Amino acid sequence: MPAYEGDFSAPAGRFAIVASRFNALVTEALWTGCRDTFVRHGVPEDRLDLVWVPGSFEIPLLARKLAESGRYAAVICLGCVIRGETGHYDHVAGQAAAGVMQAGLATGVPVIFGVLTTETVEQAVNRAGLKLGNKGADAALAAIEMVNLLKRLEA
């Protein structure tokens, strides 16, 4: 039985990154991890377009517009929603996740969910370059893998 998977070789094309300014201390670290991972995998910074939005709730609209544009191999969404900081955590986190998934399904372009959803600031920081890696870096890898997987399936 044939098995298909995407590798981590540098894909052609441009990548859009939508990042939320809310909790910027964390999301800037996610962007740094994302950018460095692209560069170390052979996608130079001049093939990355970064778009800042106010909060994670605004990510899906931009993600969809960028994916629809036909200009990008994939769109990467970076945000940070911390339960301790908000009573409407469930709405922001849930709608961000649902909207990001919708953007991918509606356009056929990989739209990657690099939005941290945590209980505490410490959990968020640990996933943005401290004890538990960098979710922005993971998101870049997921984008590369998905682009290469789709290309392989289409071949």
| The one among 11, 16, 26, 56 contacting ligand INI by CB under 6 A | 56
Residue nearer to ligand INI on the CB measure, 32 or 86: 86
* 23 sits near ligand INI (criterion: CB under 6 A): yes
Strand order in the sheet with 72-82: 48-53, 14-20, 72-82, 111-118
* 79 sits near ligand INI (criterion: CB under 6 A): yes
- Tell me 70's DSSP state: T
* CA atoms of 16 and 104, how far apart (whole Å): 13
Region of 17-25, 44-52, 129-137, 140-148 interacting with ligand INI (CB under 6 A): 17-25
* 86 sits near ligand INI (criterion: CB under 6 A): yes
* CA atoms of 114 and 77, how far apart (whole Å): 5
